[in-house]
Structure formats: C-alpha cells, structure tokens
Amino acid sequence: MVSAPALSPATIAKPNLISVEQAKAMDVAAMTDLFKAHLNPGQLHFMKLLGFHKIKIERAEGMFYIDQNGRKILDFFGGFGSLAFGHNHPRILEARKKFQEEKRQEIAIAFMSQYAAALAHNIAKCSPGDLDMVFLGSSGSEAMEAAVKLAERAAGPKRPKIVYAENSFHGKTKGVLGITDGQLYRADFKVAENTVRIPFADIEAVERLFRSDPEVGVIVLETIQGGGGIIQAPAEYWQKLRALCDQYGVLWVADEVQCGYGRSGRFYAFEHYGVVPDVTALAKSLGAGKAAVGAMIARREVYMKAYGTPKTAMIHAMATFGGMGEACVTSIEGLNVLYDEGLIDNAAVTGDYLLQRLQALREKYPKIIKDVRGKGFMVGLEFHDFSQTLPMVLRPIVSVLDDKLKGSLSGFVGALLLRDYDVLVAFTEYNRNVIRLEPPLICQREHVDRFVDAFDSLLSRGIVSIVKDFVKSQVR
C-alpha cells in the first residue's frame, strides 16, 4: 500500500496575480493601462471621446451608479435592457446570499436541477399560448442560436431558408451573425448562406417571398428593433405575419432578448398585438442584473418535432453553464419581483409619461429632434442630420459631411449629459443619430423628470454651444 500526501507539494510558482482587494482599489490610470493591454485598445478610443474613461464605478444601487468621487449617475442606459430591477435589488441579493450560505449545488450536470426545472416552469407560465418548452443558456446570442437551430430543424431539410430583416440585430456569435444585418459585425466572416433579407415591417415583401419560394421555412424578427433605432411595426403587420406563417407553414421566431421581459409594458412585446410566435428568446434582465441567463421558449409541438426522441434529445441539450444553480435562483426571484412590484405596469405607465415629456421636447426643439418613438421603457430619440441642426447659413457647407457626421450629435449630447448632468444614456448600432433610452423598470416619474429636465437644459444651449462645449472637454 502506498499512501499519498493530502495535497501534492507546490512546485509551480504563482504568477504575479492581482487580488480581489487590489482590483477593488485600482485607480483609473491603472484600469486604463490594463484595459489597453488586455481587453480592447480600439474601444478605449471611443470611451475617451465620450469621457467615459475618466470614471471608475465604485458601487451601484437602484437607479444610480456611484463613481470614485461619490457622484451619483442616473442610469437611463440600463445595460441595453439588462437591469429591469436596477442595481443590486435587495430581494435579488438576499436570494443569492441564502443560496451561497446553504452551499447548494451550482453545477449539477449529471443530475436534474430543481432550480432549472422551476425556472423553466416559471418562464412557461409567463409565456402565452403553448410556448412552454424552455432551453436555458447564458446570453441572448446563445438563446437565439438555440431558437434558430430548433426552428431550422423543425422546418426540415426541404425548407432550409431563414428570413431576416434589414437593420436586424440577433447577436454576434457565428450562427446568428448570418441573420444580423450589420456589416460592422459581419466584417469578413463567412456567414450562413441559407438566409434571405427583407425590409422590416413590409408585409407585402413577406407575402411575396413566402408565395414564391417554397424553401423558406423560418422567419426571424425582433418585435421591436433595438440596434436599428427602436423601430416598430404596426399591429396589423404582426397579425398578418401570423396568418401568413400558418398559411405557408413557416415558423416564426420572435427575438425578445431586448424588448421582452416587461420592457414594452407587456411581458413580451408581441403580446401587444394579440399574436404568439412559434419560438421566442429572452435574456438581458432574465438574469436580474446579477447573472448571465438566456432562454429559448418554443411551442411544444415545434420542440418535439426537432428534439422529441431519445435519439435527437441531445442534439442541442443544455450547455455546461445553462441552468447553473445560483443563476436560476436569481432568475426565479427576479420573475417573482417583476410581478410582486408591478414593474411591467410601471414600464407601461411611466414609460408613457417619458414619451409624453420627450414629445413635448421635440415640439420645443423641432430643428434638433427629428423623432421620438418607442414602447414602455424602450425609447428612441432621433436627431436630425447634423447640418439640419445648424444655422441656415452653415447648412449647405456642412450637408456634404452629414453621412460622416452621423452619430456625432448623439455622441456630443451623451458625453455632456454625463459630464454636466450626471446622466448616462446609450446609442444604437445602425442609425447613429438615435439615442437609446432603456432605464430600469423601477424608474419613477421623478427620475424621468430629472432626465428630461437635464436634456432640456442641454439642448437650450444651442447646437453651436454644445459643439464648443464638447470640443473643450476633449482638450482638457
């Protein structure tokens, strides 16, 4: 018998690692050096333009970030819709703390998880119709990959074509890149070729395609386009789409990663139109701001057609980090909080108040604000092209540069809102003239008033002064 030591002797030298406490104490200069060295030096360029690189967030609570100087920054960005409950909601923290204190299982791949099962049940109960089969993952991209794979498989090999819309965004992973309509993200990657692009919200284009091409098996659409600039289709579009899908046997995948989970004033944005897709996907706030959780939800008939036998069940089974214990507990508690605190109703009512106040600003500044649109707490505020916001004498000179200057006014306004008013907003991928507002669903009228008053004060300076103020901020 040979007895082994309890632990092997340490022979590998420990690298020069940063501890948790050292990371917490890191200053802005050290953060910048490490970001440039190990994360994304190109992204740092844009952070510097906006002044975001000067800020170190020490903590966050409710509607606010708190920086290294104790400054409270009102969050109307909301992590692209990931913070339904704001920052560090006490019930979410308590559920996670109890899970840790009781040393419950985290990764239990070999066994069934009561937490994954309960979360899947809750998601199914929140979903209309027979959307009741759930796949759990870690991100919106993963959820959409699962949704598209399931729909393609259920459609069958004789109907391999997948339809997507102009200005769509469905994720950056390789599979869904083929239905993400952005050259920036596609770059020179070779993407799936079984896809067909059509205009968004054009039901005649959908009908022509379905009628003319029997190989079309799936159509994938965001219910509200986020990256496209907060673009909606009318109710009759969705109702006719559902009818056309039924008529031609096409499966409809609704991407609700950003617009779902109560953000529009209903749990799913498609519920506003009285229709139900065949497959949908959630992520963002599904993790309650403390965990990375995504989910695909499918009609049982569609799911079983794709993966309903023992032979096919493991083709797209849950991945290693899908259904992790603490993540599921976080999501379970989050869904309960969502309804217990009436946050979906709040998104509808307070979101409508936000839109009303912004429409009043549009009327006040018609030469600056081109459009205000959205639903609930998913709002887009579009500026005119830069030349159109300037005094008449300058417009002909600057108009030739409008395409190159797209997004500049949004950037100026976003940078100055943060610097001078302690307000954080977001931007959109495709229409760079749009500021995207996705505050937490806990947002109250007082937060709306603070944001709109700050925005009003900034616009009252006039475009020339805004540009001058931004340029000054760059040379300091």
CA angle, residues 448, 123, 153, in degrees to nearest 5: 115
Taking the C-alpha atoms of residue 146 and residue 171, their distance in angstroms, rounded to an integer, is 12
Cβ-in-10-Å burial (0-12, 13-18, 19+) of 101 comes to: exposed
Taking the C-alpha atoms of residue 317 and residue 307, their distance in angstroms, rounded to an integer, is 9
- Mean pLDDT, contiguous 10-residue spans, the chain (476 residues): 68 93 95 94 87 92 96 96 98 98 88 95 97 97 98 97 97 95 91 96 98 98 96 98 98 98 98 98 98 98 96 90 95 98 98 98 96 98 82 64 73 94 93 95 98 97 86 71
> How much is the pLDDT for 319?
86
- Which of 70, 71, 72, 103 lies closest to 86, judged by CA? 72
> How much is the pLDDT for 376?
98
**pTM score:** 0.93
> How much is the pLDDT for 398?
63
Alpha helices per DSSP H over 105-256:
114-126, 140-155, 174-177, 183-186, 203-212, 235-248
> How much is the pLDDT for 46?
85
Taking the C-alpha atoms of residue 426 and residue 424, their distance in angstroms, rounded to an integer, is 7
> How much is the pLDDT for 47?
87
Structure tokens belonging to residue 130: 């027979």
> How much is the pLDDT for 400?
54
Q: Which residues pair with 380 in a beta bridge?
A: 373, 436
Integer CA distances (angstroms), 229 to 120, 371, 382, 418, in order: 31, 11, 8, 21
Taking the C-alpha atoms of residue 149 and residue 170, their distance in angstroms, rounded to an integer, is 13
Q: Is 292 left (phi over 0), alpha (psi -120 to 50) or beta?
A: beta
Taking the C-alpha atoms of residue 211 and residue 215, their distance in angstroms, rounded to an integer, is 10
